[in-house]
Structure 1
């Protein structure tokens, strides 16, 4: 081929500088293009000055001889890339049976040195397959035993192949002496520790390394105590592996901790794998007050370092101290964003009693503080956005006033952009729909107040207190216990307790809404020209020609034995604001009932010394599982009656289509309490009882605790606006002016 190439050069079709490159291509038979990969040279056409090459995706590709000489790199037949094209099965077998020979072939093909990353790219997936890590771990151990390879301790360093065989001890000592800095020496020492079983003279090699480490520890223990402490750990491990005695006067971990280096800085500079050992050495150096020092350093640590510190505190029985410290930092809004990030990730039952709305408020404060200090990363904010359950869990047991404050704080917080704020506010609205007007800026729809007796109002407050201060905390403790059983997917106690938690929180929201609407009164001196709350009405059932007497009282009053009806019930709504002689009718389950009013009298007459208070509705309880006791008769003095003026009740409209359960379409003259269910439940009310109950104020049944656990929840305090309200003047829809009521609660 030389003569033919020289004739082309003489004819001016080739440049003389291309001759040597073309001769190497002709002799090798394989070439490498930087874009098309390895190619097999099929032949040269000296007449037209072209060469034909088979590339993986370009078979039979034709190139100009001059361009081929400049762009192609010749590959010998023994080159690894060339062998992949014609002998791939043999290479795969070599990788399984003799991996050291395969690595030697690859490294020699690239000039005797090759990085680990390049080696992986060349072998995976054609030769080695997908299980690279497992293959390399076993091959790496074999390469160390082979005296021709220098396996680096750091990934960026290349794998070296040496023609002369060098013992492993000599190679490791040479690497240790050549390492720059104590950190690099510790990497070689760790490799020496792993290679001890393969060394012929392990104790002698380790003794040389220990002497050098002691010198470096002495020079670093003041300037870089974290590095000196890590060197002490390595020195002790090497000595223990070969059973060598300690040298007199050498520095120990207690000598390093005696200088009082900052614990958070020590953890930050030390690898995570050594954190547990570092904290254990700190505990041994300060046996009396180590936990106080760890607690003091928590607020300046990263979330990753906090994990190991908290684990050590819990294992040593300092969980309560940890919780008190966290609660103090959260309540004072001094907790760092990293500490709160760790707490948000943890969220275990052990910390359930401090996880509440105040934690989210502290998170906003911490992020604003980081923003003021120009901290670039906002890992806490990113986690809040990513974890869909975090915000709902923190606010699930909060009071409405607290939720309103948090919503306002989030709306004006500079920590999130508008899109992220919408996402977080949407999670709040999903949990508390009543926050929608506050977020959107719409005027909330004001609901008409509920006229209730002081006795029924007190019972509702007692139920609310029982729920907030006893049942919900018990729910928290029981769910924590159920979680400890493990396997939540098949944990019946946990599922039952979670369902009870949902019922408790739903009932709590209902009571808060009703108590906000409630307006207490004693129904003294009502209007008697028309039917109004606080009057007793004698009626005639026009269908059966029977006389019935009803007492129209508050929204939560119901007593079928005494004929007490709520003014919100269908019957109460039909009677309200009608005079003597008026005929009223209402429809119940498709049947129309007609009554004629014969007389209207005040229920609590000023001339009566003793009045009877209506009993509680059957669904109200004063404590868990106990039915409310009927209120004792109240004594109304004439002075109290004289001090009150007449009050008019608003005519509340019953919801259309309210579902009422009835056993008979016609109300009977005798009203009896519904019989108790044999299993402790309640049967459906009769037709008359259905007319007495409020149509638009359904009352939830008493919440019974199942035989399960409860999830931990923060104990909400009773809101200030749920205190017993002073009676406000109530006016009826009748345009006739009515004097305001000055009635006061009994006693």
Structure 2
């Protein structure tokens, strides 16, 4: 730290005696001098020390202008949210009518912190007194950084309304309304609501969003009263469907509301004024009678009114039908192939579901009819494939405008799309639902989609998804999507609402769990990205972390968020702790990142990393993931080698891990995870091109080599191919090595061993049978069938027999393919008679040599000396060694051989 700068600051503090004369003579130039000191402290990296000197001065001289200014400005530049020093100084200058100095202070603060609420509000107060035209831009900045400020948002809206800028006026009226609702100021909210109903009544989704917020946070009854005002506009403009929806919403809040019941009857009467029975149906449904459940009455009315000629209906047994006529109380309905049915109106209400002409069931049922625009099923399929938006809207609206993908798939597969067509269609449809703002999610069910009459803003779309989503970490992902989306308004109150959900976890909690930690990380990260959302948590990360029982588990849990990288933020926060290296070591089994170990090493703590290495290989049960990671990723590092864990110990630890995993699988413990570990471990040790285990094993003396091999051979469940490879490696070096009897048996996997060449031949044959032979024989059958009486038709009978045989052959071949296991030539061994060997046998009876190549059933060619290892003869000579004699009987013929020679067959 510069002694010259310290001396300068201390000199300023000594001469800084507070008197009225001092204040009256204070000018902007005095503050400019202090600003230069602040900048010098920052450039010389001693801001903390200089601030400490000033804070010490304030501890006994609280009104020191120099100390207040330097401490406050340095704190501001360090990112502190505490403006108390600067606020105290502004108060001093304002009380002494030093407004120019106050303005300079605010401008200086804002040059460093554009979103400083204190400076903006102080500047606005001065601009108000001066009548400065810049006031409105300052107001906009305040509204942008303070998402709770409603009064200024209203002032801005009124200002732009007077300027005839309707777009900006409505923008700020919306902000003001949402903020008044958040502040529970219902009277002011009512005033703004009326203005917006007059200005933008067609933005129904926005009003519904506000209604839900009012109902939840203030009063459902008050939200219903406000919706009445919006309803009047829709009724006056004869937008009956929306008007009726609003009334249904209000009746959900108060089913006995007499006004709403009268109004919904009136809306129905006007909507269906051309229907001859509308008044009768309103009366018979008891819509106007308070004793009748209103929603049962509505359902009755809507069913009755739908039962008119040329309308469509659905019956569970007969399917889709069209009403041909209605006479008195009888409906005549054409159900297509199920014929015409006469049904009483009373029965129809209970048994039939009315369908609109645009319902997906109607569209599918009427394909090819005069009323349908689709003449064939292929035309409908083409439309669905090329116009996904139309298909989605049709299906979703068919399910009362709330439908999940399970229902969408059921409507399309297999009736219109094949399973493979659905796969590509499905991914495109999901992308469309994500991007097209005329689609949204059901606010009560995140898995169901809705269709909107008008496009909504990205902010509303994310807000609806957030409310519909109940899973905590999925909500984090939606928040991050909102923040990362370049099209969204980061000043939106809807973003503030989502953000406040997470700050709520930090304001009150009983114990520190994953939601508290994740909320802290989210609030910190988003607050840095969007300063207007900055939140001062009363707990530090160190305090929260200290309450955790198992930090390792916390790191794993934080994987729940797919969008935000919470685990990286968690590690960054842990690194700010004084003992972060120890905490990293504790958590490492969950982390498994090389850069984490390197960061500890760079902090001159290599001994801690090496202790982790030695501890891991001492306890393979606890550290199995760490062992595999270290062996695979770090074994070439100098710090790893310096830990002095022998390669033999490393290899044995991994073999023990494989054995442990098999035992856990036998006990049905995390079978999927254990199988994954086994696969990874086997690749590390027994890779065909780089068999590290075999290389080390063969470098040992005979006793160690036998021990190493036995460890692998004792794992009963381990792939026999691995064991065979190890045995072959041993035999290459020690041809006379004697294995235990059980080890000398050939290791054939379950299934049927085949050569890769023969497998390709069989696959090609299956493809030919499916794509060439079967269609050809089907054509022959069809042609023969056209020639007359089938009983006397020899061509037809022969073709059917050929077709039947071909089908059986294909089925048998497919079953064999399912059992086929490709033989790995590298596992072939000449130590015993086995698959892939050529054996020379001396016939003891004739004294002649016989040569046989042992392969599988597909390759079998006895006339040329190729026999199947699954045949009686092949099975009898299998697993014998050179010099051994064998006798056996097949089909009453006795054989007596001596094995003279075994070589690897050329495949």
Q: Which one has a larger percent helix, Structure 1 or Structure 2?
A: 2
Q: Settle same-fold status: TM greater than 0.5.
A: no
**TM class, shorter-length:** 0.3 to 0.5
If the length of structure 2 is used for normalisation, what is the TM-score?
A: 0.35
If the length of structure 1 is used for normalisation, what is the TM-score?
A: 0.42
